[in-house]
Chains A and B, each alone.
Chain A
Amino acid sequence: MNLASIPFSQVLLGVELVALLSGCRLVLGKWVAAALVVLPVAALLPWRTSVYAWHSSAVLPAGAAVIWLWWLAAEREGKIQKRLTGVAGWAIAAAAASGIVQFAPQALIVLAAAAAYRAARASGARRLVPVAALFVAPLCSKALILVAAAAATGYGHGASYWLGSNFLEGWASRSWFEATGSYAFLNTQAEFNTLFWLPMALPVAAIGFAWRRRWWFAPTFLWAAVLLGGTLALERNLYLQFSLPMQMALLVPAGLIAVEMIRECGKVTADAAPNDARGTPAE
């Protein structure tokens, strides 16, 4: 097999899946449970596509998944957290965030949320550290490169071009998925499957509120809310099937809540089970 023939977008999808799987493993403690959560995301990814995808499709999901993994690791108490929140850790985070933003400028929104959250959890002057590392550094690095490129090419309105072409696009990418299914199938998805997830997401979110004191809840739901909000705000076509950020934002938190719920209910004895005892017919 010629590895060079693999489209780079597929490599990025692999990065996204590995990051999601690792994050779920961090939360759930079991690889099998993590795989069950990530399975629908993997099933939705356009593996068969031969269409070249770059800014608009694969970089944002991969970057967002890596940011979520870092966020969880920095939140979970332990040795890893201490290393990540030390001086060297923050320096590496700033470099990594800058690198992600070079390829996925949309990820700046996710980084801003992570920086705000970490700043709110810190105290005193330490509040500035996450803001500087996760937001200011990537923003400045991207701006510097833009200015340098504009100066070198004489392309003065590059910033507005960048904003329009890179920042606002890529939240959904129907064209990328068109290589993976029949045209009729895609039309059907658009015709009566656009918001099918809405009645399922709302009860899960409401039930998930019971797990709000878990360490992973705030990073995960904030991350998901940013991705979902970004898709809703910046994308006209609200298709779960064609939007990788939306898939991550809905399926990962729902899966985590579901696994936690199954575990919790498995521990509950019959006396403490919800509502009444199981009915038997025709007694």
Chain B
Amino acid sequence: MARPTERLARLPRLPFPWSAPPTPRGVEPLPRPPRAGADYDTDWARRPLARVVRAAVVEAVARPAVAVLARPDRRGLDRLDRLAADGGPVIFAANHHSHLDTPLLITSIPEPWRHRLFVGAAADYFFRTRATSALSALALGAVPIERTKVARRSADRAAALIEEGWSMLIFPEGGRSPDGWGQPFRGGAAYLALRCGVPVVPVHIDGTGRILRKGQKLPRPATTRVTFGAPLVPEEGTDSRRFAARIEQAVAQLADEVTTDWWSARRRAHAGTTPPLSGPDAPAWRRAWALGDPDRRRRRERRRWPPL
């Protein structure tokens, strides 16, 4: 028996010009404009109507969902007071554990940035199809960023938005943590900050990996903590590599602050002994060991055998 798609194909086609014409053989077809991926045009998602829809999604859907799933404890917002008074665009750079990080941060970032924010999202993941592209652009304010290669177009588009007064949320690790530890920060956030002359706010997220880590299908509620750090302004004559290292160091110090306390973290920061985000340089089992056991519920025994 023929499949439904095959049956559909057998239906008589409407004649041209009611349907698209076939391309004659031997003729080079015109290149199709990209409808997804890194070249996806997200301008429409920053028009007034889309912004209203996004604000509604953030406040009516994302906020309650985050409150239930992540129970966030937000700290360090006082460090942004002066920036808030200036009101200019800012780049928020955070570590990345989970898909929950974006809604958690979008609902944590304070005004005046929250509703004038775009998210640097992986073009090869969030913009794979037209549907995911549209959804990401509308709900998250996502803008595609190439993470597999250097793409001038991605950078130009992000820079143009920052210059228009939009703030950016970016995860400089380039993807979610595969094992619970951080990955080296890439230079995108630093490059954009230097190019546009805007400050970078380091942000540390703790706990989202327990809710929905990479590879996990269903979320499990847990508590999270979002810690905002003091804004970093590029020093005179610095380059994006050094500035990226400084951002990574700032996020590592925030991680230390969360794990221990602010005073211990400051002492280690000044002594140059802040534990790196990437964890110990050791075999995988020791890295996993060093993470501790954040998910106690996994310990619950599952019945392997039918009841006797």
Asked if A pairs with B, the answer is no
Chain B residues packing against A (C-beta within 8 Å): none
Chain A residues packing against B (C-beta within 8 Å): none
